[in-house]
Structures are given as C-alpha cells and as structure tokens.
Amino acid sequence: MSMDGVAWSSLHKITRAQSGSQPFSKETLKRVLGFAAPHKGKLIAFVIASIAGAFLAVATPVLAGQVVDAIIAKADVGTVIWLAVLIAIVAVGEAGVGLVTRWLSSTIGEGVIVDLRTRVFDHVQRMPVAFFTRTRTGALVSRLNNDVIGAQSAFAGTLSGVVSNVVALALTLIVMLNTSWLVTVLAMVLLPIFLIPARRMGSKLADLRREAAAHNAAMGTQMTERFSAPGATLVKLFGRPDEESREFAARAGRVRDIGIRTAMLQFTFVTALTLVSALALALVYGLGGWLALGGQLAPGDVVVLALLLTRLYAPLTALSNARVEIMSALVSFERVFEILDLQPLITEKPDAVAVPSGPVAVEFHDVRFSYPSADKVSLASLEDVSTLDTRGGEEVLHGVSFRVEPGQTVALVGSSGAGKSTVAQLLSRLYDVDSGAVRLGGRGPGTGVDVRDLQFDSLRDALGMVTQDGHLFHETIASNLRLARPDATEEDMWEVLRRARLEPMIRSLPDGLETVVGERGYRLSGGERQRLTIARLLIKQPRVVILDEATAALDSTNEAAVQAALGEALEGRTAVVIAHRLSTIRAADVILVVEDGRIVERGTHTELLVADGRYAELYRTQFAEATAVAEEAVPEPN
C-alpha cells in the first residue's frame, strides 16, 4: 500500500470510530447535572435573569405597536414621548440583564470545568503504570483539553441557550397569539418547510465537528510523540520524515475540507433562515395589513406582529438544533466520564497500615504474575485501536519465592526477559501479583505485611528504586532531587552529588543546582543522567533499595566510583539488586538466578560456581566478559 493509502486508511479508521451520533444515556445527563449541583444558587439566578430578559425582549415590540396606535389615534405628544422613554429604559434593562446572564452562564460553565478538570487530573494520576504503558499521551492530553472544553461549551453555551430560548419563544408566541392568532398561525406554517432540513443539517454539522476533533487529536498525538527529544531522535535515525509529513498533511487537508464544508453549511443555513423569516414577514404585512384595512386588527398590532416575528425564528432554529448540540456536548462529557470510570487496578485499602518500623525484610511468596490485558487497564480510544486486546498476558512469573533478611542484599541475575525487572516492579507495587504475596517486614517467613495492605505514602517512603532508563522531570536539578526529599537542604544535595561523582560537573554549570535538565534529561549525557538518578536515591535514603541495572549506562571509571557510593547507600539497608557486573553480584549475600520466570538456582557466588550450573555458565559468558571490558576502562560513550 502506498503511503497515501496508509494515511487514508488511518483517516478512515478514525472517521468510522468517531462518526454516528451516539445516543447519550440518562445516566450521563444525571452525572452532568451532578457537576452543576454545587452551582445551584447561580443556576436559579440564571433562570430568573433569562425570564426577565425574555419579558424585556417582548416589551419593545409591544411598546412600538402602542406608539403606532397613538399616532393613528392622534394622541397627545406626551404619550408618544413617554412610550419612547419606556422603550429606551427597556433597551438599557435588556443590556444589563444580558450582561448578568452572560456572567452567570460563564461562571457556572467555568466552575463546572474546574471541578471536572481537577477530578480527571487527580484520577489519571492514580492510574497504574500499566495504563500509561498503553495510552498514547497525545490522545490523553487531547481528551483532557479538547473534551473538557467541549463539555464546558455545553454549559456556557448550549444549556444556557436552551433555557433562555425556551422562555423567549414561549413569551413571544403567547403575545403574538394574543395579538392575532390567525396571522400567527399562518406565519408559522412556513416553519416546518425550513425546520426539517435544518435539523438534518444540524446533525451533519455535529458529525463533521466530531470528525474534525478526532483529526485534530490525531495530529496532536503525532506532534507530542514526534516532537520530543527521544521521538525526534528516533525519526532522524529510523523514521521516514517524508511519509510522516504526508500523513500529517493528509489529516490537515481533511480538517481544511471539513472547515470549508462546515462554513458553507452554516452559511446556507443562515441564508435559508433569513429567507424564510422574510417570507413570513411578507405574509404578516400582507395578511395583517388586509385585516387592519378591514378593521379587524389595529395598525399597531401589525407592527407588533412583524417585530415579534423577527425575534421568533432565531430561538426556534436554535432550539431545533439544540438536541444535536447538546448531544455532541454530552459526547464530550461521556469521553471524560469514560476516563473517570476507569478503575485504577491498584488502590489503597481503607484500613491500610504503615510499613513496620526498624530494619525491614523483603519476601516473595510463591508469586505468580502476568501483565494485565489491555481491556483491564486502558481505553481503545486512547490506544488508537478500534478494539482492545482482551487476551490475558502470558504468565511472566511462575511461582517465585525468596526472602531477603533485613540489611541483606540479594542479587538477581539471568538472561534478558527472564523476569527480573518484573520482580522489581512487583516489589514497588507498580503492579499487583495474581497469586502469592509480596511482603515487607516481619521476623520470619510469612510474618511480614503484604504490600497490598500498606499505605501508598508509607511504601513510597520506604522504597527507593533506580532503573536503567532513570527519568528526570524537565525541571531544575534541585527540584528533581527534592522530589525524593522535599526538605533537602543545599548541603544535602551537594553531598549526594559529590557521592554520585557529579559535583564538579554541576558546580561548573552557570546555574549550578538551578540548572534545568532537558526533557527526559537530554541535555545531560546518559551517564550523567544515570548518576543524577542515583543521587536522587542517595538523598532519599530509603529503607529498601531496588537497583535495576542502575549502573548499566556508566563507563567503568565512573561505575567503580558510583558503586562505592551505592555500596555506602546499601549499608545496613535491605537491597534487591539486578546487575550484570560481577563486582556487584559478588558482594551480594544471596544470588538468585532467574530464568523464564522461575528461580532456577540460589546461593553465594562460590557455592554457585561450585555447583557448576546456569550461574557458572552465565559467569563464564556474560559477567566475565563484562568485567574484562570494564577493566579496560573504556571512556564513557555518550
């Protein structure tokens, strides 16, 4: 398939997934009103203001009719002037009431959005890591921005429009029917000719808008993914920029086409509306004038009817489209609720306890685990797929048991993909086990507290982890360190930076600790970034240390130095170390050899060498080599 073909098929996929006005449920409406509940006082004020506005709007035509009648009856000048003054007062009143209504509806709309936005942010923050490994950041951010704004327009625009239009329409009709039911009814006859196609057009417009929103979100996703340092690097190294541009251009082109169609549809709509109301006006003048000549209608009433008619068609058409507009606004709400309804798989129990004090043991008891399937943790619309993978992941750990006594270090070794990092993630409760248990503390086997019974804060404080691809926020060095210990002083920071062998480098920077590290820490070299994440661990001083190939990105000179620092950091702490360097492994109290999700050997370095099994094999191939290379002291590659 040509690239254009690919681009168009992905466009098609989006179109299909997004089109079709989904009916919204009563549940959604109820929830939306739930968000409005705290603003009840303002809502009531808004309805009152809308009613007042509608009365004032009807007053002007009625007064104008009286002026005409006064002129024809040759009344005195005073009456006419008095009526004119009243019309002026009504105009000022209308302006004032308009301001108040506008202020109320936007205050309510913005208020609802603040609630919705903070709730979604808070909720997404609590989602498990599995959610983020599946979601496309761009799609998520677009939902937080565009859909929340779409939901806001429902409140500020549509819902408030409905209230004021219904009131205006009802009052206008009452006054018109009262003036001349015959003229009114005949003037309304033209309406259906116009309203039926108008409704169809309204729903067409909503579909187009929805499609445009989907394309905008897709472009946003493409940009957020490609325009980050790692994404841009990847495109430069492997990507096909021309095809990326072509795909982007295809989407942008479709948004243009939709924009033009929307504009033309709207213009046709307005023109048709103007035409129909002009025709109805002709009818009012003709029929009304005829009746007035026959004495069946006052001349002033003809003016009243004509003026009211011009105010009738606008709310009528607005209302005829309101259903569609409310529906598309509710779709926005639904898309936001969809995220709020995702249950975080990992939650804190109401009666959660703190990590037991004192030195803490770590225990895995017959742990089985498979990574959760997509439908448990994610949404199809956020992954950019049409249906979610419901296959349960293959079991990755098949009954892993081990115990690390307080203050001891266990080293996990094994080939890549064996399940070592998974063990680290289960210990820090980034995922929960399927069966078995991960426990902290306790004096003997089975006596510790299950991590699922621990308070999040307490577990977070107790554990410290450094991974191979340590992440830094795009903030200053100091704030990245304070993340681990908010009350750290400058001295504390320099101390850990010194131990992580970063002090001279950071001292030489013009802004020192206040230097902003690039997105993902890209302005630092890989080794420097790694050492900064180690400094972050050192400043945290956790009771349990997890190192997942923490020194893999370091050159041997620095590694030796940082190892020393890590050695100090591990002093007296319980540690789980995943390593591929012999020096680290040798220092461990126990070595566990993990293969295919099982512990296949355990013992000390010497014991395992004597046993001459898998460890001995790894030792001869992997570690011996790594160590030999390390000893040649190659310079840091990046």
Q: Report d(CA 361, CA 201) in Å as an integer.
A: 68
Q: Which of ligand ADP, Mg ion, none does residue 417 bind (CB under 5 to 8 Å by kind)?
A: ligand ADP
Helices (H), 73-142: 77-125, 129-134, 137-142
Is residue 418 at the binding interface for ligand ADP, with CB under 6 A as the rule? yes
> Which two three-digit tokens encode residue 530?
């790694």
Q: Report d(CA 635, CA 85) in Å as an integer.
A: 90
Is residue 157 at the binding interface for ligand ADP, with CB under 6 A as the rule? no
- CA distances (Å), origin 181, targets 103, 167, 309: 37, 19, 13
Is residue 596 at the binding interface for ligand ADP, with CB under 6 A as the rule? no
Among 133, 245, 268, 274, binds ligand ADP (CB under 6 A): 133
Q: What share of the chain is helix, strand, coil (3-state, %, to 5)?
A: 65, 10, 25
Q: Near ligand ADP by CB under 6 A, which window of 339-347, 412-420, 433-441, 534-542?
A: 412-420
Q: Near ligand ADP by CB under 6 A, which window of 398-406, 411-419, 505-513, 600-608?
A: 411-419
Please identify, using beta-carbon distances, which residue of 345 and 354 lies nearer to ligand ADP: 345
Closest C-alpha to 332, from 12, 18, 10, 13:
18
Q: Is residue 489 within 8 Å of 481, Cβ to Cβ?
A: no
Q: Is residue 549 within 8 Å of 467, Cβ to Cβ?
A: yes
Closest C-alpha to 139, from 208, 246, 207, 215:
215
Is residue 422 at the binding interface for ligand ADP, with CB under 6 A as the rule? yes
Output DSSP code: residue 473.
-
- Closest residue to ligand ADP: CB criterion: 421
Is residue 419 at the binding interface for ligand ADP, with CB under 6 A as the rule? yes
In a 13 Å sphere around the CA of 312, the CA atoms on its Cβ side amount to 27
| Burial (Cβ within 10 Å: 0-12, 13-18, ≥19) of residue 222 | middle
Question: Does the CA dihedral 382-384-389-395 come out positive or negative?
Answer: negative
Output DSSP code: residue 418.
S
Please identify, using beta-carbon distances, which residue of 207 and 549 lies nearer to Mg ion: 549
Amino acid identity of 598?
R
Among 184, 332, 421, 558, binds ligand ADP (CB under 6 A): 421
Q: Which of Mg ion, ligand ADP, none does residue 409 bind (CB under 5 to 8 Å by kind)?
A: none
Binding to ligand ADP in span 247-286, by CB under 6 A:
none
- What's the closest the beta carbon of residue 548 comes to Mg ion, in angstroms? 6
Q: Report d(CA 302, CA 292) in Å as an integer.
A: 8
- What's the closest the beta carbon of residue 615 comes to Mg ion, in angstroms? 18
Is residue 417 at the binding interface for ligand ADP, with CB under 6 A as the rule? yes
Amino acid identity of 327?
M
Is residue 132 at the binding interface for ligand ADP, with CB under 6 A as the rule? no
- What's the closest the beta carbon of residue 197 comes to ligand ADP, in angstroms? 52
Residues 496-535 as x/- pattern, contact with ligand ADP by CB under 6 A: ----------------------------------------
Please identify, using beta-carbon distances, which residue of 420 and 529 lies nearer to ligand ADP: 420
- What's the closest the beta carbon of residue 533 comes to ligand ADP, in angstroms? 17
Please identify, using beta-carbon distances, which residue of 220 and 414 lies nearer to Mg ion: 414
Q: Which of ligand ADP, Mg ion, none does residue 378 bind (CB under 5 to 8 Å by kind)?
A: none
Chain centre to alpha carbon of residue 524 = 29
Residues 362-381 as x/- pattern, contact with ligand ADP by CB under 6 A: ---------x----------
Q: Near ligand ADP by CB under 6 A, which window of 52-60, 252-260, 409-417, 456-464?
A: 409-417
Q: How many residues bind ligand ADP (CB under 6 A)?
A: 12
Cross-sheet strand order for the sheet of 362-370: 395-404, 362-370, 435-440, 449-450
Strand pairing class (409-413; 362-370)? unpaired
Is residue 416 at the binding interface for ligand ADP, with CB under 6 A as the rule? yes
* Interface residue list for ligand ADP (CB under 6 A): 133, 371, 393, 396, 414, 416-422
